[in-house]
Structure 1
Amino acid sequence: MLELRDVRVVFDGFHALDGVDLTVPEGELRFLIGPNGAGKTTLIDVITGLTRPAAGTVTFDGHDLVGRKEHRIVRLGVGRTFQTSVVFEELSVVENLDLAACFRRPLWSLARRRKGVSQAVEEALTRTGLEELADRSAGVLSHGQRQWLELGMLLAQRPRLLLLDEPVAGMSREERERTGELLTQIAADHTVIVVEHDMEFLRRHASKVTVLHEGKVLVEGSVEQVSADPRVQEVYLGRKPSDAVGK
C-alpha cells in the first residue's frame, strides 16, 4: 500500500531523512521508533505532503504523493494525527466528529441542516467508545478521551492509511491499554503506522517495527528481532547488547 524509495529531506544542510526505503503492506500495524531527531515525524510529514522531499519517491496505492497538496492526499485515503491533540473545545464530541467527516460531503450539503448523524460519525463514536460522551463539550474531556476523539475524527474521514504520532503520550496506564486495544481493532480493517516512544506499549501491541536512526532505517523486524539487535540497544535504548528489551 505504501512505498518510499530513497527519500531524502535536508534542512539547512541537516539530513533529516537520508535515503529512507520503507514498504508497508495493506492491513499492517507498523510501529516506527527511534531516538529524538531520527526523522520519524519528518517521515510522516513527507507522506502527508507537509514536507516535500529533496529526492526520492513516495507511492500510496499506486499514486505518487510527492508534490501533491495535503488535502488531495487526504482525499486519497491518508489521514494523520499530531503529537498535540487538535480538537474544537467549544464543540461537542459529535459535532467534532461531524465536522471531520464534512470533507466527504459536497459543498451544497453543508449549508443544509441535517437531522441525526451520519453513519461514519456513528461508527467513529462506537469504535472509540465515546457514545455516552457524544453531547459533551470536547473542552471538558480528559486527556485520553481527547486523544480518542481525535482518532475518531480521523476515522470519520474514512481513511485507508492512518499515521499516528505518539498516540499514547501523557496517558495513564489504563488509557494506554484502552488505546492499544483500539489500535488493534482499527488495524483489522485499516493500515496503521504508529510513531511511539513508549517501549512497554510497543512490546504489548506491535507486530512489525521499523527503527530510524540519523535519518536512515537502522533495522526492521518483529519486536523480538528488534529488541535483540545490538544496534538498537546501543543507539536507541542506550544499553549494552546484553541488556535486551523486556528484561
Structure 2
Amino acid sequence: MSGLTVRDLRVVFDGFVAVDGVDLEVPAGDVRFVIGPNGAGKTTLIDAITGLVRATGSVTFDDHALLGRKVHRIARLGVGRTFQTAAVFEELTVLQNLDIAAGWSRHPLSLLRARGQVPSSVAEALTTVGLSAVRDELAGTLAHGQKQWLEIGMLLVQDAKLLLLDEPVAGMSQSERDATGDLLGRLAADRTVLVIEHDMDFLRRFARTVTVMHAGKVLSEGTVAEVQADPRVQEVYLGHAPSASEVA
C-alpha cells in the first residue's frame, strides 16, 4: 500500500483562498498530525481529500487519483474520515452501528433482531477500538470517547486504509486521550493515519511526524522536536519571535 500524496492543492471560497498550494506526503504507516491556528485550512484540507469541497491540484492515495470523484467513490477507495462530533446512530446498538457501516444488513428490520454470529471483521473492529464489552449498548449511552472510537470502528469495517481524523480527542478525559493515542499506534500497523489536532500534549506523546499549516499553506514539517524548534512555528503560536527564555 502506498501513502497519501497531495500536490499544489488549492481550495477557494468566493475569492477567499482557504488552502493555498499545499504539498503533503504521508507515507503508509505514518501517524501524521496536522496542526495550526484556527483558520489555517486544516479541516478544509481533509474536506478536499474526501471530496466534500471542490479543489484543484492533485491528491492520490494508494495510486488512485481522488480529486473530482464523488464522496462515496472516494470512500470505496479506502479513504475514511471522522468529524469533530461523532456521526453515529445513537438509537442503535454499537453492533448495529457497525453492521450498517459494513453494509451486511439487507433489510432494516434485520438490525433489530439478535445476531446469531458476528462477522469476523465486525468482531475484529470491536476488539481494535476496545468496545467488545459494550457491543449491545445503545450508542447514545456511550461515553464521549467511546463514540469517537465507534466512529473509527465504522471506518474499519469498511476497510478504510487512510484514516482522516478531525480532532479525535476534543472533549475527552485524560484516560480517553491515552487510550486514543494507543489506538492510533495500532491502526498505523496496516493503515495510514492523518490527525487534525489542537491538543499539543497529545501531539507530543503520539505524533510520529507533524505538518504545521498557517494561512492555508504548509509552514513547517518534521518530527515533533524539529517543528517545535522552528522559529516560524514559534512566532505563529507565540505571536512574536521567541525570546531566549522561551526557547530554553
Q: TM-score range by the shorter chain?
A: over 0.9
Deviations 1:74-128 (A, max 9, x none): 11000000011111011001111111111xx5xxx72495642211110110011
Is 2:31 the partner of 1:29?
A: yes
Does the 8 A contact of 1:28 with 1:191 survive in 2? yes
- Which aligned pairs between 1:104-183 and structure 2 lie closer than 5 A? 110-111=106-107, 115-183=116-184
CA contact (8 A) 1:98 1:117 kept: no
Aligned to 1:100: 101
**Separation in structure 2 between the aligned mates of residue 240 and residue 167 of structure 1, nearest angstrom:** 31
CA gap of 1:116–1:125, structure 2 versus 1, over 3 A, is: same
Letter in 2 for 1:228: A
Kindly provide the CA deviation profile for residues 124-173 of structure 1, in whole angstroms up to 9, marking residues without a partner as x: 10011111101011111111111111111111111110000000000011
Deviates more, 1:227-236 or 1:69-78: 227-236
Question: Which residue type is aligned with residue 74 of structure 1?
Answer: A
Aligned to 2:11: 9
RMSD between aligned residues:
1.5
In the other structure, the counterpart of 1:184 is 185
- Secondary structure at the aligned position of 1:236 is classed as helix
* Contact 1:229–1:241 under 8 Å retained in 2: no
* C-alpha distance in structure 1 between counterparts of 2:238 and 2:171, whole Å: 20
- Residues 93 and 136, structure 1, Cα contact 8 Å, conserved in 2: yes
CA distance in 2, matches of 1:100, 1:184: 23
Query: Are 2:218 and 1:220 aligned?
Result: no
Report the identity percentage. 66
- The alpha-carbon distance between structure 1 residues 221 and 165, as it changes in their structure 2 partners (threshold 3 A), is same
Give the equivalent residue in structure 1 for 2:41: 39
CA shift for structure 1 position 237: 4.6
Work out the number of aligned pairs and report it: 239
The aligned counterpart of 2:84 is 83
Tell me how far apart the structure 1 counterparts of residues 53 and 172 of structure 2 sit (CA, whole Å): 29
Distance 1:225 1:193 in 2: 18
> How far 1:13 moved relative to its partner?
1.3
Q: Provide the C-alpha distance between the structure 1 equivalents of 2:240 and 2:205, rounded to a whole number of angstroms.
A: 20
Match of 1:81, as an amino acid? T
Q: In 2, Cα distance between the equivalents of 1:126 and 1:194? A: 22
Gaps of 5+ in 2: none
Distance 1:52 1:12 in 2: 12
CA 1:95/1:38 → structure 2, altered by over 3 Å: closer, same or farther?
A: same
Question: For the structure 1 residues 12 and 171, does the alpha-carbon distance in structure 2 shift closer, same or farther, using more than 3 Å as the test?
Answer: same
1:154-193 CA deviation, whole Å, 9 max, x = no partner? 1111111000000000001111001101111111111000
Q: CA deviation at 1:233?
A: 1.2
The code of the aligned residue for 1:96 comes to: N
